[in-house]
Amino acid sequence: MAASVLNSPRAVEVSVFIVRAFIKLRRMIAENKDLSRRIVQIERHLADHDEQIIDLIKAIKQLLKPDPLPKKRRIGY
């Protein structure tokens, strides 16, 4: 995308390099099923942690809420 904006030979070279890197990464993942499964496991593990962190933040916010003041009883009649 830099090549379309900058329109220089260097920008074209960098864009081609980036595309080739992504293609190589995609091939490596497709060829290595074990790596692919491990990536899926990591994604699931991170998703579990995200849920746990959200629950933890909710609990902390609940603890930080001030308690409502108790109603004062009138003294006398």
Segment 55-76 mean pLDDT: 79
Helices (H), 1-77: 2-6, 9-31, 33-64
Q: Is 19 exposed, middle or buried (0-12, 13-18, 19+ CB in 10 A)?
A: exposed
Q: Could you tell me if 11 and 2 are in contact, meaning their C-beta atoms sit under 8 angstroms apart? A: yes
pTM recorded for the entire structure:
0.39
The answer to whether position 77 is within a domain reads: no
User: What is the tally of structural domains in the chain?
Assistant: 2
The answer to whether position 5 is within a domain reads: yes
Please tell me whether residues 42 and 55 are part of one structural domain.
yes
Segment 42-69 mean pLDDT: 83
The answer to whether position 51 is within a domain reads: yes
Please tell me whether residues 40 and 24 are part of one structural domain.
no
The predicted pLDDT at position 20 comes to 94
Please tell me whether residues 38 and 58 are part of one structural domain.
yes
Higher model confidence: residue 74 or residue 25? 25
Higher model confidence: residue 47 or residue 23? 23
Query: How confident is the model over 11-46, as pLDDT tens digits?
Result: 888 888 999 999 998 888 778 788 778 888 888 888
